[in-house]
Structure 1
Amino acid sequence: MKTDHWFYGLFQSAPDLIALLLPQVVAEAPSLGPDASGDALYRFEAPELKAANHRLDGAFWPKSGEAGTPEQPVALLEVQMFSKPGFKHRLLAQTARFLQLNPQVLHLAVVVAVPHRRLKLGPAQLPQQLQVFLDGVIWLSLEELGQQADLDPWLTLLTLPVRPEAELPASTQQILEHRPDLLSTVLTMLFERFPTLSPEEIMVIAGIPTDQLLHTRAAQDLLDRGRQEGEAQGEAKVTLRQLNRRCGPLSEATTARIQALPLEQLETLAEALLDFSGPADLTAWLEEHKG
């Protein structure tokens, strides 16, 4: 299940959602509505830490200033949905790198969202300095979050990737009852969580009446976009297979960059690679077509 870009889109559209995850900020969190951007506490970006070739899942800058304050710290967000033995070490390294690149930051909070606390993210024994750092991290278990009563609809949204399928109709209805404008966001998550299911099957899981979906413009746009993304994913798989044969094994960063290309550029790359003689040609093509 690929959820990283869903989380990215969600936090990009509502950066103040981070305030609901920071105990020292939650009391000041504004209403997270489409008309509340003028009073936002945070702005969102996903900076790339080039030296380590790591892209942070999210950096949230308070409007009070880039140094942050104890009440509104600069916040780093990482979403880790799968076991990764070296994650805790990498988390410390990229946090330190972020502070190195942003020496103006004086107050920092690090939030890590995981599906549950059973996830294996490092060895049992850790260096003392690393453990001290990890003790200050805010660990958000989506499983535990989903067990809380009377959740804010935005927080319920965060739990959709991990909720048991039987709970999804009630959860989606709880969200849409209070925030019907979040229908597209809910459907996006369900389409990504269940990529092999038809729109009709997704509607059953979400507890959304067929007539409501078919007459919702946002939902129709989402279905069209889903079909286009499906075509792009298929084209990307074929193109990557050909590039690995012609240019040698590709790095994770290069693979991710190619997978993110729109369908039109993927088709152009599929034609251009026939003239590639090595990895240098691919690098040059990507540089020429970046942005």
Structure 2
Amino acid sequence: MAEWLLGVSSVDGYASSITPGFYWQLIDTELAAETQRADSVILHAGSATKPNQLLHLEFQSRPDRQMPERMLEYWIRLWRLHGKPIHQVVLYLKKTNSPLVQVDQLQVGDTRHRYGVVRLWEQDPQPLLQNPALLPLATLARPTPEHLALVAERVAAIKNPVLQKEIAGGCHLLAGLGFSQELINAYFTMGILDDSVTYQAAVAEYTRRGRQQGLKEGERQGEERGLQLGHNQGLQQEAQSLVLRLLPRRCGQLSHEQELAVRVLPLEKLEALAEALLDFDSPEALDAWLAV
């Protein structure tokens, strides 16, 4: 992400001032006691002529009228914590015609604060396709079904199975902002679930239950029902696990009550929460969403 947005590389004469051979470092994103968090903060090690700098990223699935004020507040807090130059970028993920996604500064009287804006659907997908780590973002760059198929091909070509599963999961999540569930499932879902021990265990359990029921309804019908229930349960657990991993990054540590409320959500609500949490910036945002 940093190399793509800053146009710099971890080679070509850059010498790390953090640790020898270390060029990028993720920074704690908590900015204040009230658990306000930036989405991502990355420290780039500079050189003798170019100082260290921070890259601050905010990911948005929908326009936010308060974004200019938020970016200024993030800048002030990051500067106080680290005292280094800060390059800020808002990445808008979901295509929209709202004029709010064109705004790249806050100007009030003599005060002006500028930041970068990337509307992902306008980006050339080729640089994103060249780096496996950027393939989830590539699903939304000039999105077309043909382009989604190309991303799926690049994911399938990843030889490390653990890395392939992680990137496929990211592609599945972000592609939901631009494509139908049926099209996404055609390229990603089964590949992810087939490698999931949670899904395999659920299928085995519900197949067993289906076979027991099949003693009354017929062996074949029971197995079919067991497989279907297992598939649904596997999707439920995968969605629940993903949401519970992402929420602390957006809202801070969840309370016991919040975690319990998320765990009892049906699959449809979990999928909706996976999209909505991209805009959360506090525990109160989660509480408000759960209360609707």
Coarse TM-score class (shorter-chain normalised): 0.5 to 0.7
- Counterpart in the other structure of 2:237: 228
CA distance in 2, matches of 1:98, 1:234: 27
What's 1:257 paired with?
254
- State how far apart, in whole Å, the 1-side matches of 2:257 and 2:146 are: 32
| Aligned residue number for residue 98 of structure 1 | 78
Tell me how far apart the structure 1 counterparts of residues 257 and 197 of structure 2 sit (CA, whole Å): 20
Q: Which residue does 2:118 correspond to in 1?
A: 140
User: Residue in 2 aligned with 1:55?
Assistant: 37
* Among 135, 140, 159, the residue aligned to 2:138: 159
2:64 equivalent in structure 1: 84
Corresponding residue number in structure 2 for 1:287:
none
Shift of the 139–159 alpha-carbon distance from structure 1 to 2, 3 Å rule, reads: same
Gaps of 5+ in 1: 1-16, 31-36, 236-251, 268-291
Report percent identity of matched pairs. 15
Q: Could you tell me which amino acid in structure 2 is paired with residue 185 of structure 1? A: E
8 Å contact kept, 2:104–2:117 = no
Any idea what SS the aligned residue of 1:50 has? Answer: coil
Indicate if the aligned counterparts of 2:125 and 2:138 stay in contact, CA closer than 8 A: no
Q: Tell me if structure 2 keeps the 8 A contact 1:160–1:168.
A: yes
CA distance in 2, matches of 1:165, 1:159: 12
Q: 1:123 to 1:114 in 2, by over 3 A?
A: closer
- Per-residue deviation, 1:85: 0.3
> How far apart in 2 are the matches of 1:89 and 1:96?
11
Distance 2:34 2:164 in 1: 38
TM-score w.r.t. length of structure 2: 0.54
Query: Do 2:90 and 2:116's aligned partners in 1 also have CA atoms closer than 8 Å?
Result: yes
Asked whether the equivalents of residues 40 and 58 of structure 2 are also in contact (C-alpha less than 8 Å), the reply is yes
2:2 alignment counterpart: 18
- Alpha-carbon separation, structure 2, partners of 1:258 and 1:91: 27
Which among 143, 161, 183 is matched to residue 164 of structure 2?
Answer: 183
Partner of 2:225 in structure 1?
Answer: none
User: Is contact 1:146-1:156 (8 Å) kept?
Assistant: no
Please identify the structure whose Cα radius of gyration is greater.
2
CA distance in structure 2 between the aligned counterparts of 1:99 and 1:26, rounded to whole angstroms? 24
Q: How big is the alpha-carbon RMSD for the aligned residues of Structure 1 and Structure 2?
A: 4.8
Q: Say if 1:265 and 1:201 are closer, same or farther in 2 by CA, change over 3 A.
A: closer
